[in-house]
């Protein structure tokens, strides 16, 4: 058996990536993600969820207290603009690019492919180009059918549609895009949603430009955000970080404060390997995210393979949120929530020496001391303070 050969449900690097797939595993159907269900599942759809989606048009945005005022929704909605333009362009074909379908290419594959004699050097070049376009992290891993959606969604009627990639795709380039720390500190607020929107708009630009570069080299490249496959396990397999209780990937450089996009390609590339950092051991003694969640959507205790509703993948042992409760809170706020990111002890500026020292402690057997040192951190910054330049 070669290093990369797989049995249907397991992969040689699973243990290192912290991935445990059980016998009843089933690939995820995108129709079941909580955002898609809000359009077809009457147990999820409500006036509240309709108002949530409508609030991304300023005339339908509600007004409440600090952080939910006109300027907060205006900034949030503006931050989404680039992503919105991209995702709306295929509406008449039922294709919501970047969310319910892969991003359609704007650049043809060059008729003559540049020879790649050294996949390792090519990987280094791709990472350099990814940084040039603005990605904060880049890792590379093989295509893994387990994480590909069994079907995608036709947004004209929310029916299932084939989720096919071009022939010969074998690699996935995973990109990380950090979110603005000052805005994240103001969750929950519509203002904080500007950090999410700006990250999506940036990733839409970066992922399409990097895919266009690869296509200009003469290779297939399919740019992808939340569509086509689950990016979290790909990020783990690409060695970008470790899975945490708050369902995020904690990275050494940015903690959980970033989003991921991906490119499917047949460009010959060297693969990165997963890394055990010690995050799972830290999460085993920490419940700050679960404690802070206003609707108690995050789990306590060790990872389990219990499927918490159809919006969770079946047959993977992990920490899994209650997506219905979580999205219910988003809908009630008319904006996204990431309190569980804000309060996480790994949400720090690791450019600073004292935070790097804390990280070393947190990922060592002295993790309880690191958790104790974190007490009192992660408090919400008032959105008005951000507008005054104080956050
Ligand atoms: S995003 Fe908010 S509601 Fe959802 S799990 Fe995190 S803290 Fe809870
Ligand atoms: S808050 Fe604590 S338990 Fe939750 S993800 Fe962060 S380190 Fe893990």
> What's the 302 CA to ligand 2 centre distance in angstroms?
12
- Closest Cα to atom 3 of ligand 2: 283
Ligand 1 atom closest to the CA of 298, numbered from 1: 5
Q: Is residue 108 pLDDT above 80, yes or no?
A: yes
pLDDT band (50, 70, 90) for residue 9: confident
Q: Is the residue at 4 inside a domain?
A: no
Ligand 2 atom closest to the CA of 292, numbered from 1: 1
Q: Is the CB of 289 under 6 A from ligand 2?
A: yes
For 244-286, what is each residue's pLDDT tens digit? 999 999 999 999 999 999 999 999 999 999 999 999 999 999 9
pLDDT at 250: 98
In this structure, which ligand is nearest to the CA of 281?
Answer: 2
For 26-56, what is each residue's pLDDT tens digit? 999 999 999 999 999 999 999 999 999 999 9
From 248, 338, 344, 378, mutation site for ligand 1 pocket: most ligand atoms within 8 A of C-beta: 338
Q: Is the residue at 314 inside a domain?
A: yes
Q: What is the mean pLDDT of residues 303-323?
A: 95
Burial class (CB in 10 A: 0-12, 13-18, 19+), 242: buried
Q: Is the residue at 182 inside a domain?
A: yes
How does the average pLDDT of the chain come out, rounded? Answer: 95
Q: Is residue 7 pLDDT above 80, yes or no?
A: no
Q: Is the CB of 286 under 6 A from ligand 2?
A: yes
- Closest Cα to atom 6 of ligand 2: 344
Count other C-beta atoms under 10 Å from residue 176's C-beta: 26
- Closest Cα to atom 1 of ligand 2: 344
Q: Is the CB of 293 under 6 A from ligand 1?
A: yes
pLDDT at 64: 86
pLDDT at 391: 61
pLDDT band (50, 70, 90) for residue 10: confident
Indicate the number of domains in the chain: 1
pLDDT band (50, 70, 90) for residue 8: low
The pTM of the full predicted model, rounded to 2 decimals, is: 0.96
Q: Is the residue at 6 inside a domain?
A: no
Q: Is the residue at 2 inside a domain?
A: no
Return the percentage of the chain with pLDDT > 90, whole number: 95
pLDDT band (50, 70, 90) for residue 224: very high
From 290, 300, 336, 340, mutation site for ligand 1 pocket: most ligand atoms within 8 A of C-beta: 340
In this structure, which ligand is nearest to the CA of 380?
Answer: 1
Q: What is the mean pLDDT of residues 285-308?
A: 96
Q: Is residue 5 pLDDT above 50, yes or no?
A: no
Q: Is the residue at 70 inside a domain?
A: yes
Distances (CA, A) of 19 to 9, 104, 239, 284: 11, 31, 12, 16
Range of the domain at 264: 14-386
> What's the 382 CA to ligand 2 centre distance in angstroms?
23
Rounded distance, CA 36 to CA 241, Å?
A: 27
Q: Is the residue at 3 inside a domain?
A: no
Q: Is the residue at 82 inside a domain?
A: yes
Q: Is the CB of 340 under 6 A from ligand 1?
A: yes
Q: Is the CB of 292 under 6 A from ligand 2?
A: no
CA angle 143, 147, 151 (to 5 degrees): 110
Q: Is residue 4 pLDDT above 70, yes or no?
A: no
Q: 3-class secondary structure for the chain?
A: CCCCCCCCCCCCCHHHHCCEEEEEEECCCHHHCHHHHHHHCCCCCCHHHHHHHHCCCHHHCCCCCCCCCHHHHHHHHHHCHHHHHHHHCCHHHCCCECCCECECCCCCCCCCCCCCCCHHHHHHHHHHHHHHHCCCEEEEEECCHHHECCCEEECCCCEEECCCCCCCCCEEEEEEEECCHHHHCCCCCCCCHHHHHHHHHHHHHHHHHHHHHHHHCCCCEEEECCCCECHHHHHHHCCCCEECCCCCEEECCCECCEEEEEEEECCCCCCCCCCCCCHHHHHHHCCHHHHHCCCCCCCCCCCECCCCCCCCCEEEEECCCCHHHHHHHHHHHCCCCCHHHHCCCCCCCCCCHHHHHHHHHHCCCCHHHHHHHCCCCCCCCCHHHHHCCCC
From 257, 295, 341, mutation site for ligand 1 pocket: most ligand atoms within 8 A of C-beta: 295
For 172-221, what is each residue's pLDDT tens digit? 999 999 999 999 999 999 999 999 999 999 999 999 999 999 999 999 99
Q: Is residue 6 pLDDT above 90, yes or no?
A: no
Q: Is residue 1 pLDDT above 50, yes or no?
A: no
């Amino acid at each position: 058996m070669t290093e990369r050969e797989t049995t249907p449900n397991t992969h040689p690097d699973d243990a290192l990536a912290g991935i445990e797939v059980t016998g009843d595993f089933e690939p995820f159907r995108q129709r079941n993600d909580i955002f898609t269900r809000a359009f077809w599942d009457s147990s999820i759809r409500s006036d509240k969820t309709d108002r949530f989606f409508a609030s991304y048009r300023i005339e339908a945005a509600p007004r409440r207290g600090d952080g939910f005022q006109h300027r907060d929704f205006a900034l949030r909605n503006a931050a989404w603009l680039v992503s919105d333009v991209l995702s709306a362009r295929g509406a008449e074909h039922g294709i919501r690019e970047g969310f319910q379908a892969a991003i359609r290419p704007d650049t043809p594959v060059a008729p003559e492919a540049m020879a790649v004699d050294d996949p390792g050097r090519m990987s280094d070049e791709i990472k350099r180009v990814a940084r040039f376009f603005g990605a904060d992290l880049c890792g590379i891993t093989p295509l893994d059918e387990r994480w590909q959606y069994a079907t995608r969604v036709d947004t004209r009627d929310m029916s299932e549609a084939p989720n096919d990639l071009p022939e010969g795709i074998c690699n996935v380039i995973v990109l990380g895009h950090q979110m603005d720390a000052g805005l994240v500190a103001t969750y929950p607020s519509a203002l904080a949603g500007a950090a999410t929107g700006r990250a999506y708009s940036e990733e839409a630009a970066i992922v399409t430009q990097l895919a266009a570069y690869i296509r200009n080299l003469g290779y297939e490249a399919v740019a992808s955000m939340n569509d086509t496959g689950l990016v979290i396990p790909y990020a783990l397999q690409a060695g970008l970080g470790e899975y945490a209780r708050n369902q995020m990937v904690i990275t050494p450089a940015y903690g959980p404060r970033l989003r991921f996009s991906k490119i499917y390609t047949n460009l010959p590339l060297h693969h990165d390997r997963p890394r055990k950092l010690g995050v799972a051991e830290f999460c085993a003694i920490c419940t700050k995210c679960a404690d802070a969640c206003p609707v108690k959507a995050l789990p306590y205790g060790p990872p389990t393979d219990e499927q918490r509703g159809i919006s969770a993948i079946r047959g993977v042992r992990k920490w899994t949120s209650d997506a219905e409760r979580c999205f219910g809170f988003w809908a009630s706020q008319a904006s996204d929530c990431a309190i569980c990111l804000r309060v996480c002890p790994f949400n720090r500026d690791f450019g600073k020496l004292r935070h790097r020292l804390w990280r070393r402690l947190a990922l060592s057997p002295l993790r309880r001391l690191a958790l104790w040192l974190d007490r009192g951190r992660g408090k919400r910054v008032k959105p008005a303070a951000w507008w005054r330049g104080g956050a």
